Amino acid sequence: MDSTPLDALMNGGTPQTAPPLPSATTYTPVMTPGTQTYSPPPPVPNVLPVPVVKGVLKNILTYVSIFLGVALLSLTPVQSLLLRYIPHAYSGSGVVSLYGAAFLGGMGVVVIYILQMLLQPLI
């Protein structure tokens, strides 16, 4: 059996060097305290950009136009004016029928759209 004696491996062998580490495992040197002073980042102004503010205001005006449209169409004189010439808008007991309610819902969409078109250019 061919074996190498231990003393030949310890004394007579060539010194082995560690293989180089891959670049993914090499780290930047550790900074010790006092070697570099810390400078905090500059403060960021707390101002919203203009497009964000415009978007928020447009959304608020959308809610306002929906509220105004619903409030306008819930008034009794407006309902009677809109449903007066629509056939089958009222049921037999004088209550607004499903057909009349569907017509009022469609008119609500139209009124809200018109209010939005009037309010959006204000921004």
Measured between alpha carbons, how far is 119 from 123 in angstroms, rounded to an integer?
8
Per-residue pLDDT tens for 71-104? 999 999 999 998 998 888 988 888 999 999 999 9
- Those residues whose C-beta lies under 8 Å from the C-beta of residue 95, and which sit 6 or more positions away, are none
Span 49-72, mean pLDDT? 91
What pTM was estimated for this model as a whole?
0.57
Q: What is the pLDDT at residue 53?
A: 86
Contact 65, 114 (CB under 8 A): no
